[in-house]
Structure 1
């Protein structure tokens, strides 16, 4: 059980890390489009944010995973395309604030394109918020991967995953084998809380640095 739990956590962490990075990249691209693409682009991105946030994550994850034939690909794509709205909203607000600063207007008047400005000036300014967003997305991605796998719409039963272990353990709870579900679930909870703690600490650190500056 310890071996399966460790292997399951490594699988969840791997999928969660890649999905969080992809979702964060989507958030940065959409926030850049909203900030520099004009009023119409901003309205479309805000509408997409409200649309995705209006539907529960688990429902979207199940639908996307089922449409892609379940498995690791469905889990990865589902998590990647459903966890970007909150970070997009934060990055959009930061980019709009940085965009109004004098040195950005000066660079624009000198002929720099918005793409060049975004990568040379905007990205370094919003990088702290971006890194915090990636770290905070990570535990949510891990937890949702285990959730849809537990429901039977994620990884296949042959793969080592916490969701698979918990799903199998449900059949043994009535016989008194409670440890088959408690210890893997506790390991998942500890991993999620640790990464969330890291993200919260990083956010406080960035806030203190911003106040000092």
Structure 2
């Protein structure tokens, strides 16, 4: 049994377990979204107990329900923005390497421009320009996280173009678009999937950060950034649980995805196929 339980199977097992756990958190947050908004002033400011595992806030709202709802929203926004950003990186990275020097120069200039601005500042500016809220957060995170993956994909495509079968297709008159669709995109799948997973923790953290700073989701939504921002004014009065549990939950989700992305990278690496 131990002989067959190799590193690849361990990686597959971890990826599946992580996926199921995050799906369960997302579903629980959606189910508890109504309960997270319910107020009960007879139960306000309760410390963590068996009846309220994460305690209650100054309005008597259950912090466990609010934390799960906030995590669910962060996971959904993170998945959406990571997908949009990765697809954008795939398109632009492939275009830069296949559509000639002028296109490559323009896209490379855009990559350098975006990477020259601190991520959090760029996310805030884009979110503010789009009116903040859900649309602003999605636009800000999606349009600021594609350059690094686009640069990786561009380099990979430039190497693939030196392959004999691609050079033969070019000499036979096959269009660059058809070469990209039929011969290049399939080889970019490992880099694309790994980049997609690794972008997720960055997307979640930046969504929570700009919401915490007031440039993201509206205060009416039980997002993790909103919860942490509201809890700051009560920490000096000893209500430590208002920030501790939501913050730890956010960190655990980010660590889970970071570890999953690293294992997925090893799983998709052809050099590790026999491990």
Q: Same fold (TM over 0.5)?
A: yes
The one of 243, 251, 254 aligned to 1:192:
254
Say if 1:47 and 1:22 are closer, same or farther in 2 by CA, change over 3 A.
same
1:11-30 equivalence runs, <5 A: 11-30=73-92
Q: Is the 8 A contact 2:232 2:243 kept in 1?
A: yes
Which residue of 2 is the match for residue 89 of structure 1?
A: 151
User: CA offsets, 1:145-197, max 9 Å, x none?
Assistant: 00000001100011121000000100100101111001100000000000010
Which residue of 2 is the match for residue 48 of structure 1?
A: 110
Q: Distance in 2 between matches of 1:160 and 1:211?
A: 42
Paired residues, what number? 212
Superposed CA RMSD in Å reads 1.2
Of stretches 100-109 and 1-10 in structure 1, the one that deviates more from structure 2 is: 100-109
Which residue of 2 is the match for residue 136 of structure 1?
A: 198
Name the structure where helix makes up a greater proportion of residues: 1
User: What TM-score, normalized by structure 2, do the two folds share?
Assistant: 0.75
Name structure 2 gaps, 5 residues minimum: 1-62
Of stretches 75-84 and 98-107 in structure 1, the one that deviates more from structure 2 is: 98-107
Kindly indicate whether residue 141 of structure 2 is the aligned counterpart of residue 66 of structure 1: no
Q: Distance in 2 between matches of 1:173 and 1:158?
A: 21
Say if 1:211 and 1:93 are closer, same or farther in 2 by CA, change over 3 A.
farther
Q: Is the 8 A contact 2:266 2:272 kept in 1?
A: no
User: What TM-score, normalized by structure 1, do the two folds share?
Assistant: 0.96
Kindly indicate whether residue 187 of structure 2 is the aligned counterpart of residue 125 of structure 1: yes
Q: Distance in 2 between matches of 1:62 and 1:187?
A: 23
Say if 1:197 and 1:211 are closer, same or farther in 2 by CA, change over 3 A.
closer
Name structure 1 gaps, 5 residues minimum: none
Which residue of 1 is the match for residue 233 of structure 2?
A: 171
Secondary structure at the counterpart of residue 152 of structure 1: coil
- Taking CA–CA contacts closer than 8 Å with sequence separation of 6 or more, which of the two structures ends up with the larger relative contact order? 1
The one of 204, 214, 217 aligned to 1:155:
217
Deviation at 1:110, TM superposition (A): 2.2
